[in-house]
Amino acid sequence: GQSLEQPSEVTAVEGAIVQINCTYQTSGFYGLSWYQQHDGGAPTFLSYNGLDGLEETGRFSSFLSRSDSYGYLLLQELQMKDSASYFCAVRDSHSNYQLIWGAGTKLIIKP
Tell me which residues in 2-61 interact with other proteins (CB under 8 A): 31, 33, 35, 37, 41-45, 48, 50
Mode of pairing for the β-strands spanning 9-13 and 105-110: parallel
Residue 73's Cβ-count burial label (10 Å; 0-12, 13-18, 19+) is buried
Binding region for other proteins (CB under 8 A) out of 11-19, 21-29, 76-84, 100-108: 100-108
Question: Is 71 an interacting residue with respect to other proteins (CB under 8 A)?
Answer: no
Which CB sits closer to other proteins, 37 or 83? 37
Q: Does 96 bind other proteins (CB under 8 A)?
A: yes
> Pick from 57, 62, 53: which is nearest to 89 by CA?
62
For other proteins, the binding residue among 16, 19, 98, 108 (CB under 8 A) is: 98
Q: How far apart are CA 94 and CA 71, in angstroms?
A: 20
State the nearest-atom distance from the C-beta of 26 to other proteins, in Å. Answer: 13
Residues touching other proteins: how many (CB under 8 A)? 24
Query: What count of residues does the chain have?
Result: 111
The footprint of other proteins (CB under 8 A) covers: 31, 33, 35, 37, 41-45, 48, 50, 87, 89, 91, 95-104
